[in-house]
């Protein structure tokens, strides 16, 4: 059985241009984005293991925030999730799987979570 390492960043609130309805297409919408990223796992993590043996969590944060293109309207939040996954694959060849969960905060009426989860594997 292979060892595995998953890095996680959850509940980033990000403003993104997305949506198909006219009231959604002019202003950014609040999305709650969570990611789990599987990367190759070294044999051991000693007390003095350097950061490059893992992956910086800020790379995950970047993929879901500043790496999203300004002024680009994503018709579907699935497109947002795909962009995040592709950014993470391009950042680091050790990334083998990316799971992106996006919740559309603006459409919740009673605190429910409405959204998608996209899983992509390196091809």
pLDDT at residue 123 tops 70: yes
Helices (H) and strands (E) in the chain, counts: 2, 4
How many C-beta atoms surround the C-beta of residue 24 within 10 A?
17
pLDDT digit string, tens, across residues 78-90: 999 999 999 999 9
- What gap in Å lies between CA 84 and CA 75, rounded to an integer? 15
Burial of residue 121, with CB atoms counted within 10 A of its CB: 0-12 exposed, 13-18 middle, 19 or more buried: exposed
Write down the pTM of the prediction.
0.92
pLDDT digit string, tens, across residues 13-72: 999 999 887 676 778 999 999 999 999 988 888 999 988 888 899 999 999 999 999 989
Domains and CATH numbers, the chain: 5-121 (3.30.1130.10)
């Amino acid at each position: 059985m292979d060892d595995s390492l998953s890095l996680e960043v959850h509940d980033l609130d990000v403003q993104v241009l997305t949506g198909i309805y006219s009231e959604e297409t002019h202003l950014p919408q609040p999305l709650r984005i969570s990611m789990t990223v599987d990367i190759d796992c070294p044999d051991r993590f000693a007390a003095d293991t350097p950061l490059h043996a893992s992956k910086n969590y800020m790379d995950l944060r970047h993929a879901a925030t500043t790496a999203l293109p300004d002024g680009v309207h994503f018709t579907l939040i699935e497109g947002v999730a795909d962009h995040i996954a592709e950014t993470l694959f391009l950042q680091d060849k050790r990334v083998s799987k990316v799971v992106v969960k996006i919740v559309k905060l603006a459409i919740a009426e009673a605190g429910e979570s409405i959204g998608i989860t996209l899983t992509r594997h390196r091809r």
